[in-house]
Each structure stands twice: as C-alpha cells, then as structure tokens.
Structure 1
Amino acid sequence: MSTITESVTIAAPAGAAYERWNEYEALPRFADGVLNVERRGEDVTHWTVSVAGVTREFDARVLERIPGRRLTWCSIDGPKHAGAMDFEPLDEHTTRVTARVELVPEGFAEAAADRLGVINLRVRRDLQQFKQYMEDDTAPPPKAWDEPWHGSAM
C-alpha cells in the first residue's frame, strides 16, 4: 500500500474550497485522470478514472463529511484506496488544502506508475490545478452547503 500526502495553499476561504471540491461532477475539470464522477446516493459516487493508461471504474463511499473542514472516503469495490481532504483555514481568505490518499495499485502499469512516483505527481498537479480553478474568477461559484453530515472517522 502507498500513502501519498500533498498540500497546496489557496487564496479562498476554507468553506468555498470545500464546497468546490465536494462538487464531484466537476472534478474532471481539474483532476487529471478523473474521466467522470456520478452521484449514486447521498454518500456513494461512481468513478471512471484513467491511471497509467488503464481505465478503471469503482464506487466510493464518503465516511466523514465536516462542512468546510474535512472529507474522507474509501472505495467500495474496484481499486482499493481511501483518502482524506482537509481544508485548514489559515485566515479568512486563505486555506491549506491537504490530500492524503492510500492506495493499492492494481496491475503492472499502475504498480509501475506508483513506484516511479507518477501517482504522487498526479496528486500534486491535481491540487495545483484545483488552486488555479479556485482562484480563477471565471469559474462558477460554489453551491451552498448541504445539511451538515458527520459520519464515522476514517
């Protein structure tokens, strides 16, 4: 199992960054390799991703949702992984976003990509692209928060 941890500082309030990330259907706009995300209920999503040229589909479940602060998940089927997104307010207008992903690469191509650090680079680039997406004035504003929901911790 590999654990990847990357952070980026964004010129946006933590609540806005959290809400934008929580719009799963928009993730393909800035997350390389995320081809499609569909909601399948309040806490289940279906993902189509490409890793090292291999397309995979899986379902993931949200384990913990603390609006404006934290989101954790794990895969239900398909590639084994889990993770957390933390949104730490540094001040009213600045947020440190930290992604922690734990994964078990499937197949030769994904294992090679993991060993070569390609997956680490992808997570780092995705966070940089998220920063640009958040700080771009032409991006649509985040939706209002849903009702607070707190599941069990990861």
Structure 2
Amino acid sequence: MQTVEETIDVAVPVHTAYNQWTQFESFPQFMSGVEAVTQLSDTTNHWVTKIAGVEREFDTEIVDQEPDDRIAWRSTDGKSHAGVVRFTRMDDNHTKVNVHFEWAPETFTEKAGAALKIDEMQVKADLRKFKDFIESRGTETGAWRGEVEDSGPGGQI
C-alpha cells in the first residue's frame, strides 16, 4: 500500500472549500488523470481515470462525512484505495485542506511511479489546481451538506 498526504491553504471560507469538494463531477477540472466522475447517489461515485496511459474505472463510497470538517471514502472493491480529506478553518477567509489516501499500485508503471513519488507530486499539483480553481471563482459550483456516519471497521483512515 502507498500512502500520500498533502496539505494546502486556500483563501476561501471553510464552507466554500468543503462545498466545492462535494461537487465530485467537477474534479476533472482540477485533477489530472481524472477523466470523469459520475455521482450515482449521495454516497457513491463512478470514476474514470487515465494515468500514465492506464485507464481505470471504479466506484467509491463515502463512508464518513461531516460538513465543513471531513469526507472519507473507499473503493467499493475494498482494496484499491481509501482516503479522507479534512477541512480546517484558519480564519473567516482561509482554510487548510489536507488530503490523506492509501492506494495499491498494481501495474509495473504504477509501482515505478509510486517508488519515484510521482503520486505525491501529482496530489500536490492537483491541490494547487484546486486552490487556483476555488480562489479564482471565490464561490463553490454547488454543495451537498449531508452527513454520513462512519460505517464501522475500515470506515475511516
């Protein structure tokens, strides 16, 4: 398992950063390698990614969600990846966004990329794109303010 953790400060209120992160279908606008995200329900999403020429499709479920605090997910196959993004209010107009996830590289290319820390560099670059995206807009493209309670063992990272 590979673990990646990155943090960035964004110059928007915590509710704005959180609300934007709940708009999963907008992820291709600031996440490299994410071709599409389709929200299937309040707690499930279908992803299409293409990273280093490897295309993957998978589903994720939200396992723990508290507005303006955190969103935790895991792949529905139970092994590919899981993570949590946390939002910390710094002041009225600044938020710390921390992303922590674990994933299991499968192909030689994925394993080599993980060994070279390419996944960490990609997450850092994507968080910078998220910062530019949300700060240039000044507001979120939508919001989902529902809560999801931790569903038991393995529900949180």
TM-score bucket of the superposed structures, by smaller chain: over 0.9
Tell me how far 1:99 sits from its aligned partner. 0.4
Conserved? CA contact 2:22–2:144, under 8 Å = no
Alignment of 1:71-110 (within 5 A): 71-77=71-77, 80-110=80-110
Cross-structure match for 2:70: 70
**8 Å Cα contact 1:79/1:106 also seen in 2:** no
| Unaligned residue ranges in structure 2 (runs of 5+) | none
Q: For 1:111, give the aligned amino acid.
A: K
CA contact (8 A) 2:19 2:145 kept: no
Look up the match of 1:37: 37
Which TM-score applies when normalising by structure 1? Answer: 0.92
Once the two structures are superposed, residues 104-140 of structure 1 have per-residue CA deviations (whole angstroms, 9 ceiling, x without a partner) of 1011111111111111111000000000001003x76
- Equivalent-residue separation in structure 1 for 2:139 and 2:16 (angstroms): 11
Counterpart of 1:136 in 2: which secondary structure? Answer: helix
Shift of 1:40: 1.3
Q: CA deviation at 1:142?
A: 3.6
> Contact 2:88/2:95 (CA < 8 Å) preserved in 1?
yes
Number of residue-to-residue matches in the alignment: 153
So what's the TM-score if we normalise by structure 2?
0.91
CA RMSD of aligned residues (A): 1.7
- Matched with 1:5 is 5
Against the structure 1 CA distance between its residues 65 and 95, is the aligned structure 2 distance closer, same or farther, given a 3 Å change threshold?
same
Would the aligned equivalents of 1:16 and 1:142 in 2 still touch at CA under 8 Å?
Answer: no
* Aligned 1:5-154 pairs, distance under 5 A: 5-77=5-77, 80-137=80-137, 141-152=140-151, 153-154=155-156
Distance in 1 (alpha carbons) for counterparts of 2:140 and 2:88? 20
